[in-house]
Each structure stands twice: as structure tokens, then as C-alpha cells.
Copies of this chain bind each other. A is one copy, B any other.
């Protein structure tokens, strides 16, 4: 835990020493506003821990860590325009506080800046290629997510592919970048990447569960928000798969409701169907399968197990977010 805290502190300092100011201020203020908000810095931490795993130079790894955080915040700014999201992390979104044009442009500048940061270390070209690849994949994932809003029937494999592209690949790439900076061998980088993919899948499924089954005060989101928004999450798709003809019809009816109905009542009815079908347990089982695959990939890395303590501890903290 000491090492984790130290890396968190190192990244916070690195971020605090980075200059996000520039002219015109309309372009740069939203960048500083977004990236300096408090966040858990998940992607930089995975990068730094992967670098530490292979005994790499932390000063070099801080650059891809910064690239990842800048890139991640760019995706948030642009996604918030598409989702018309008024708030994020308890603050107005850039789109809301300024306007859509400024949100588009500031995001664009952050994407370019992320490449500039990734190019700083000795292995810059390789890091930038990894960033480019993941950037394209995330655009694909976001487009799939947008398509799902209007698509009648989304299959479970399609949903899994969407969350792989939208969430998991960035965690995997964060680990890959840290290991690349440290000069890890190809097979180990691949194991670490697989660890990240499976961790990311589990992470997103847990998010789907927590949306409905968490203590709101802890998780900080609206209870059942996904149901209210008719989001076709894994819970919903799994429920359709497990449901009788009658329950399936009713779920589809409920997820077709838009406005002019009692939201609380709708969430309650959907949840009662989920509970009766034991959907939560089924999704938790899938989540556990991903967790097992993740930790098996971590074990496969050709290093003494004690070297993996920090990264394993951090991943366990993540997967037990309720603690």
C-alpha cells in the first residue's frame, strides 16, 4: 500500500507541475478545468505500476501516465457532448460550462497533447503507436454504444465487444505502456495486456451492477440510472436471455418507456424481475470469470510472485470497490 500511495503522490505532483495554460484562454481553461479535477487516476496508476513491476525508470513512465490521463479526459469531454451530460464528478461538464464548440476544440487539443506526452520518453514512437491504436478502438466502442441507443436488439457478444473497446482496451494499454517503457519482453507485455482486458471487462460489469445494487451514498450515482435511461446494459441483456416470454415482453415494454411515467416505479418493477430471475448472481458469475482470467494472466508473467504484489493489491482494491 505504501508503494501505491507513493506512486499516486508522484503522479499528482507531476500533474501539478505540468503547465496547462496557454492562449487563447478559451481553449486552455477547459483543459486545465477537466484534467485538474480530482479523479482516481486509474490509468496513470496502472501505467506506473506496470513500469514498477519490471523495475523501469519512473521518471520515464510519468510521461505515458500523463498521456493516458490527458487522453482519458479528452474522451470524457467529447462523450459528454454526445450524451448531453450536464454534470461529471459533481461539476458542470465543459460542454455545459462553456459550449459544444469549445468542448470539441479543447478535446481535440488534448488528444494531440496526449501524443506529445507519449512521445517524450526514449520509447516514444512505440508508446505513441499504442496510444493511436487504443484511440481508434475507443472511437469504435463509443460509436457502437451510440448505435445501441437506437438498435432494437443488441446481443450479449455485441455488448461485450462494445465494453471491451470502450473501457477494457484503455486499461490494458495503460499497463502495456508502462511495461514498454520499462523494456519488458513481448510475452510478458502480452500477459499484462490480457490482465488489463479481463480486469476492464470485470470492472465494467461491476459498474453495471453497482448502478442498481449499490449504496448510492458510496457510489455517488443516481440509483437505477441505467434503467431510467433505458440503457441496454449487461444486466438487461442477461435478463432478456434468462426471462420467460412474458417477462421478456414486459422488460421490453418497460425499456421502451420514455417520458411521462413514474421513474421510481419503473426501476422497482425492473429490479423485481431481475431479482426473481437472479440476474445479479448470473452477472456476478461472469464478472468472476473475468477476474479469474485476469489474475491467471498476471500469474503467467515471468517474474517472482512477490514482485507482483503492488499491482495485484491495486487490482484487488479496484475489484472490491465497495470496501
By a beta-carbon cutoff of 8 Å, the part of chain A in contact with chain B is: 22-24, 26-27, 78, 81-82, 100-102, 104-109, 111-113, 115-116, 119, 124-125, 128-129, 131-133, 135-136, 139-140, 142-144, 146-147
CA distance A269 to B86 in the complex (A): 45
Contact assessment for A132 and B105 in the assembled complex, using a CB-CB cutoff below 8 Å: no
Complex CA–CA separation, A229 to B117 (angstroms): 39
Q: Select A82's contact among B101, B106, B115, beta carbons within 8 Å.
A: B101
Residue of B nearest to A27 (CB): B143
A-B contact pairs, 22 of them (CB 8 A): A24-B140, A24-B144, A24-B147, A78-B104, A78-B105, A82-B105, A102-B143, A104-B104, A105-B139, A105-B146, A108-B111, A109-B135, A109-B136, A112-B132, A112-B136, A113-B136, A115-B132, A119-B128, A119-B129, A124-B128, A125-B125, A125-B128
Partner of A125, one of B26, B81, B124: B124
Residues of B within 8 A of A81 (CB): 100-101, 104
Bound complex: CA of A147 vs CA of B28, how far in Å? Answer: 13
Contact A24 B143 (CB under 8 A): yes
Once A78-B104, A82-B101, A104-B81 are accepted as A-B contacts, the answer to whether A27 and B139 lie under 8 Å apart by CB is yes
Interface majority SS on A: helix, strand, loop or mixed? helix
Q: Which of B107, B108, B116 contacts A129 (CB 8 A)?
A: B116
Number of copies: 2
CA distance A65 to B170 in the complex (A): 29
> Complex: how many Å from CA A82 to CA B26?
15
Chain B nearest CB from A93 CB (Å) reads 14
New contact pairs (9) apart from A24-B144, A27-B140, CB-CB < 8 Å: A22-B140, A26-B147, A81-B104, A82-B104, A101-B146, A102-B143, A115-B115, A116-B136, A125-B125
In the bound complex, CA of A23 to CA of B135 (Å): 14
Residues of B within 8 A of A144 (CB): 24
The reply to whether B128 and A115 contact each other, CB–CB distance below 8 Å, is yes
Question: Are B104 and A116 interface neighbours, CB within 8 A?
Answer: no
